[in-house]
Amino acid sequence: MKQTLEKLVLYGVVPYLNLPSTRNGKVNLWDLKQTKNLVIFFHHGVECAPCQAKLKELAQAYDRVKELEAEVLAVSFDILEKLKSYAQGRAIPFPLLSDQTGETAESFTHKDSKRNAPFPSIFITDRFGALRYQKITSESHELPDAKEILDWLLLIQTECPECSHL
């Protein structure tokens, strides 16, 4: 399976997200509203090799993501302690979020019942929470690369010059 059906409506406001984070405390999407564009990455977990590769790729692009006034959030069903250990051991600069109940993932994407994990998915929103891009796949390596994600973030910034320092 190359791509599953999209679940959200383009330009619609993305669902609420309030999850425990490796950054001590919870990350709430509404706390980021009007300040950050977002890249939200749902993945199979930190033991999945293609997911590890995507996390590493996003970490390597993170300085440029920040320059584009954006934040990366990576969500899995992993327990928070496992995510904290992974983030520290690999210097992941963005929050890893724990969705142990799967409720948040279910509101964004589909569940891979074989792996008891969300299908790997990328959602890109503007600072107002409007969905600008989504891709849901069966494997993380089928998701867009960092260059394409950065291109989307740049497009969002250039479409709203009053929202940006660019």
pLDDT, tens digit (0-9, with 9 covering 90-100), for 76-103: 999 999 999 999 999 999 999 999 999 9
Query: Mean pLDDT across the stretch 144-166?
Result: 83
Q: Residue 115: how many CB atoms within 10 A of its CB? A: 13
Average pLDDT over the chain reads: 92
pLDDT at residue 143, rounded to an integer:
96
**pLDDT exceeds 70 at position 162:** no
pLDDT at residue 6, rounded to an integer:
81
138, burial (CB in 10 Å: exposed 0-12, middle 13-18, buried 19+): middle
Find the helix or strand (DSSP H, E) in which 132 lies: strand 131-136
C-alpha 155/C-alpha 21 separation (Å) is 28
Find the helix or strand (DSSP H, E) in which 51 lies: helix 49-60
**pLDDT exceeds 60 at position 164:** no
pLDDT at residue 146, rounded to an integer:
97
Name residues whose C-beta falls within 8 Å of residue 91's C-beta, 6 or more positions apart in sequence.
59
Percent of the chain with pLDDT over 70: 93
114, burial (CB in 10 Å: exposed 0-12, middle 13-18, buried 19+): exposed
Query: Mean pLDDT across the stretch 129-145?
Result: 95
Strand partners, 96: 74
**pLDDT exceeds 90 at position 24:** no
Write down the CATH superfamily of domain 18-143: Glutaredoxin (3.40.30.10)
Any idea where the domains of the chain sit in the sequence? 18-143
Query: Mean pLDDT across the stretch 147-155?
Result: 97
**Backbone φ, ψ for residue 25 (5° rounding):** 105, -160
Q: How many helices (H) and strands (E) does the chain have?
A: 6, 9
pTM > 0.85: yes or no:
yes
**pLDDT exceeds 60 at position 4:** no
Beta strands in 44-99 (DSSP E): 70-76, 96-98
Chain centroid to CA 73: 4
**pLDDT exceeds 70 at position 15:** yes
> Residue 59: which of 22, 92, 97 has the closest Cα?
92
**pLDDT exceeds 90 at position 163:** no
SS3 71: strand
